[in-house]
Structure 1
Amino acid sequence: MLEMNNAFNISILASGSTGNSLYLESPQKRILIDAGLSGKKITSLLAEVDRKPEDLDAILVTHEHRDHIHGVGVLARKYKLPVYANEKTWEAMAPLIGKVDVEQKHIFEMGKVLTFGDLDIESFGVSHDAAAPQFYRFYKDGHSFVMLTDTGYASEHVRGTIRDADAYLVESNHDLEMLRMGAYPWSLKQRILGDRGHLSNDDGALVMTDILGDRTKRIYLGHLSKENNMKELAHMTMEETLTRYDLGVNYQFQIFDTDPDSATELFAI
């Protein structure tokens, strides 16, 4: 058991169109949310924050796209980890991750709250072109952390579910002009821009204007496209939008970047 004075410690191990994984620990539990890189790469990312995969208690999965599940099967088999996903995601994911023993397979249905040790984890559905994509809000001792990426828009229901968390990982996938002028085929551009695609820098910033509250201290910008975005653009768009809405940028809360290849420092909530 960890000696911690905080509700959570969190590191966004990797975030981007090439692979996604997040590490969250409480005094009782250590969880990986998504494992969209190789087992070897995730092990090295955990080492960047002085953590080891053999100490994990579970893997939670958001949806079955490769950039979220690439290492799930390998890690589950090697470290005998329970894996949690909803039923439709399991059906879509099972052929892609190799054999996982039945006792390691756990159903976490959309819209439910799972009590896992000292954590309460709320799942909520999002609008993305996967079988049944869901993301999570983690609660402990009156504090909470929200993940919201891989969605074409945030409905009123989702916004109500995720308001006023202490910290967020929110999608800033693409800059609209870079995507429109870029080399992607039109069909792919339509997918990204559609209601089941990804939030743009502008979309993600507008969502944050509606959901951040007095508790909010940290906003992490996630799932940036390597081809259609830049950290500086995403950061500037979020900062300028929240400033325009007269919100407390850089004094009530801070905005942070993430990276597809290196972990953020562990931060406490």
Structure 2
Amino acid sequence: MDIKILASGSSGNAYRISDGKTSLLLDAGIPFKEIQKGCDFRTGSISGCLVTHRHGDHSKAIPKMLQRGMHVYSNDDVAALYPGVRAMKPLLEYGIGTFSVLPFEVEHDVPCYGYQVESQTTGEKLVYITDSAYVKYTFAGLTHLMVEANYAQEIIIDNAKNERIPLHLAERVIKTHMSIETLLGLLKANDMSTVRQIYLLHLSDGNSDAEAFKRHVQQETGAEVYIA
């Protein structure tokens, strides 16, 4: 599985994955020109874009993508907001090129999906999770994991106590995004024996510690770990 990070964080999120025959975008939260650049100006080679939810840092480019005739998939909430988006139902499998896509609901402050994407060509299986306080599902046979590690509980609490961030913002982040502690629990709950690569996504600039997060996840899984 070839994975390319176009953008990750509160200013915008977009990723390209490919199994050599089919390419997909995961989220479209940056200007369309940046997506074009990240795809080497070959957006016609993209078979579809899987959008997790309506927030702008994940959906910004949807109108332009639809204008260009690109296929965009998401939940009912995003489809109602952007006519032309193809609504997927949770826990139903969809075929897009050589990929089999299974959307599932995650916990955020608006309806939000995660996606399991399996290549029928290579047999590789990827799960993509972002903007989720936690995930109630477990997964089997994964080879790649792209998952949010937004903050560390100790860091964000200390920042709020010392007024480096507003208390209401800290409370919202804790309720709607995944901490490194929750992520480590998710990793323990799943069989990581076949996972080769893990990408840590959407790290908060002031509430995370990238090197510590990477070290903890490597120790837990033994996989290659990358910071987006």
Structure 2-normalised TM-score?
Answer: 0.89
Asked if the contact 2:50/2:73 (under 8 Å) is kept, the reply is yes
Q: Does 1:191 align with 2:172?
A: yes
Unaligned runs of 5+ in 2: none
1:179 alignment counterpart = 156
1:46-61 correspondence runs (5 A) = 46-47=39-40, 52-61=42-51
Deviation at 1:27, TM superposition (A): 4.2
1:194-233 correspondence runs (5 A) = 194=175, 197-233=176-212
1:261 alignment counterpart = none
Asked if the contact 2:140/2:191 (under 8 Å) is kept, the reply is yes
Asked if the contact 2:108/2:133 (under 8 Å) is kept, the reply is yes
1:76-95 correspondence runs (5 A) = 76-77=66-67, 79-91=68-80, 93-94=81-82
CA distance in 1, matches of 2:188, 2:57: 28
Q: Does 1:72 align with 2:52?
A: no
Percent identity for Structure 1 against Structure 2:
24
2:132 alignment counterpart = 151
Deviation at 1:23, TM superposition (A): 0.8
Asked if the contact 2:197/2:224 (under 8 Å) is kept, the reply is yes
Which amino acid in 2 is paired with 1:164?
A: G
Deviation at 1:21, TM superposition (A): 0.8
Q: What do the CA deviations read for 1:80-124 (whole angstroms, capped 9, x no partner)?
A: 112111212222x33xxxxx6xxx431211221101222110111
1:5 alignment counterpart = none
Question: Could you tell me which of 2, 11, 29 is aligned with 1:9?
Answer: 2
CA distance in 2, matches of 1:12, 1:213: 22
Asked if the contact 2:48/2:96 (under 8 Å) is kept, the reply is no
Asked if the contact 1:21/1:32 (under 8 Å) is kept, the reply is yes
Deviation at 1:238, TM superposition (A): 2.3
1:15-26 correspondence runs (5 A) = 15-26=8-19
Asked if the contact 1:31/1:58 (under 8 Å) is kept, the reply is yes
Which amino acid in 1 is paired with 2:132?
A: T
Instruction: Report the secondary structure of 1:57's partner residue.
Output: strand
Asked if the contact 2:47/2:96 (under 8 Å) is kept, the reply is no
CA distance in 2, matches of 1:76, 1:89: 13
2:101 alignment counterpart = 121
Instruction: Report the secondary structure of 1:10's partner residue.
Output: strand
Pair 16,144 (structure 1): closer, same or farther in 2 beyond 3 Å = same
Deviation at 1:127, TM superposition (A): 0.6
CA distance in 2, matches of 1:45, 1:105: 22
Asked if the contact 1:34/1:72 (under 8 Å) is kept, the reply is no
CA distance in 1, matches of 2:225, 2:17: 19
Asked if the contact 2:54/2:77 (under 8 Å) is kept, the reply is no
Between the two proteins, the alignment pairs up a number of residues equal to 222
Q: Which structure is higher in RCO with an 8 Å CA cutoff and minimum separation 6?
A: 1
Structure 1-normalised TM-score?
Answer: 0.76
